Structure 1
Amino acid sequence: MTTTDIKIARVYTMEGRDHLDRVLNILRDEEKIIGVTVMRGIAGMGMSGEIHTSSLLDLSLELPLIIEFYDEPLKVEKAIHELQSRLKLKHIVSWAATAHTHSIS
């Protein structure tokens, strides 16, 4: 098993804010980030305290989205800078991690 130091970042945004496609394009086409996952929340709230949730009666387009990505630490830092400067994203968190991979022989 091989271990590699990586950095993981999460972008917190909401559906309907036109960020998803733009973020994915930057991460894939420009920054060449190796791993990206998008998760759709079923409920969430921000600093305002307003709860955004889905129900059968009210299918909201204001549900939380989490865009998580990882790569080498310097590539992730550069990607975060690009996302913040170009898209004015305010809710990004990141942390150091270790990737565990099996070498193919």
Structure 2
Amino acid sequence: MAESDEEEPLTESEERLVERAWGVLAAVLERDPEDLELETSLADDLAAGEEKLTNVAMALELELDLSGLFEEVGDWETVDDILDSVLYCADDEADDAAAV
């Protein structure tokens, strides 16, 4: 069976997590949250280099109580990539907590 390109809608808790992550991202990048879009290029549109993205990862981990975002920084090209990483790390932590 072929996979669908459509993503499942976010749960209410995932939506809250994305909203919080969006605010942290805007604060660290010193941008108005309304100026960011999912397809905003981190390098081209925001001039965010590796050091700035590492600061983003650190702030997100601290503010959202996540771990594992530092390993994702090299793959981030857009705002959407960061939010996907946040959701992935949050899901991993939920799975780890359920296994205990």
Please confirm whether the aligned pair reaches a TM-score higher than 0.5, indicating the same fold: no
Give TM-score, length-normalised by structure 1: 0.39
Give TM-score, length-normalised by structure 2: 0.41
User: Which has the larger helix fraction?
Assistant: 2
Using CA pairs under 8 Å that are at least 6 residues apart, name the structure with larger relative contact order, 1 or 2: 1
